[in-house]
Amino acid sequence: MAETVETRGDERIIAALEQNWQAEMEGSATYRALAEREKDTHRKEVLLKLAEAETRHAERWERRLHELGAATPAYQGAPGGEANSLANRVGGPESALRRVEMGERKHIAEYSRQLTDLDDAPSAQILRDVIADERSHSKALKGLIASTPIGTRDARTQLDRLLKRESHRGGGRLHPHHPLLLHEWVRRRGGGRGHLADRPLCRRRGQVADHGALLVEQRPGDDRRGRP
């Protein structure tokens, strides 16, 4: 019975480590694909270093799997990882980096859970090391996102930055008919009639009320709270 319990425990650990290996291999493929598209030398170098780090993580999981008597898994992801997903191709470089950074945070959460769930000291040490690396990856990605060239930023990010700048210039207030409050901006990005640009503008006690991507007009006594 003891051998059966031990065997089952090893199988559970192996299954978790195989998933970790898959995730790291996919992360490496994603970073390499994004690096291939990057024209800026510095940004390309950062992405390639992140890819190399993910490969090292996968190698550590592979070694631990071998120690547990398991074979090297077969990679099941796409050659370009998540870089070629529909969402990343449509959203552009900045959106792709945001999704990858979110993936890093999900990995951190999953690895942190495994620290308490997996009763395996060697794997726990790898997890602690990888969590620290993933946190640095998240920080590096945030730096790349912040330095994304203006021409490749998504429309929402550019609008948020402009609204923040204009609000600061106006002492925290924006005129209710300020052109940056949506009409001209979104229309220039391709919005037509019935598009977001045609929704009402907003202001409540001098502050811009932002409900997701929709700005609506709110006056004192108005209880619509975000409805168009």
Q: If you average pLDDT over residues 74-88, what whole number do you get?
A: 86
pLDDT of residue 9: 63
* Residue 92 binned pLDDT confidence (cut-offs 50, 70, 90): confident
pLDDT in tens, 125-183: 999 999 999 999 999 999 999 988 755 544 454 445 545 555 555 555 555 445 545 54
pLDDT of residue 207: 42
Domain count, the chain: 2
User: Is the distance from CB of 115 to CB of 128 less than 8 angstroms?
Assistant: yes
Is residue 162, in this structure, part of any structural domain at all? Answer: yes
Provide the percentage of residues in the chain whose pLDDT is more than 90.
52
Looking at the fold, whether 159 and 109 belong to one and the same domain comes out as: no
Last residue of a domain, one of 151, 169, 187: 151
27 bridge partner residues:
none
CA distance 96 to 84: 9
Is residue 225, in this structure, part of any structural domain at all? Answer: no
Encoded amino acid at 97, one letter: L
Is residue 226, in this structure, part of any structural domain at all? Answer: no
Q: If you average pLDDT over residues 44-63, what whole number do you get?
A: 97
Q: Identify the CATH number of the domain in which residue 78 sits.
A: 1.20.1260.10
Q: Which two tokens stand for residue 177?
A: 């008919």
Domain holding 71, by residue range, is 2-151
Q: Taking 60 as the threshold, does the pLDDT of residue 90 lie above it? A: yes
Last residue of a domain, one of 104, 127, 151: 151
The CA–CA distances, whole Å, from 60 to 19, 144, 163 equal: 13, 27, 46
pLDDT of residue 171: 59
Residue that has been written with the tokens 């990858």 in this structure: 100
Helix 2-37, helix 93-117: angle, nearest 10: 160
The pTM (predicted TM-score) of the whole model is 0.64
Looking at the fold, whether 141 and 190 belong to one and the same domain comes out as: no
Of 131-145, 156-170, 184-198, 214-228, which one has max mean pLDDT? 131-145
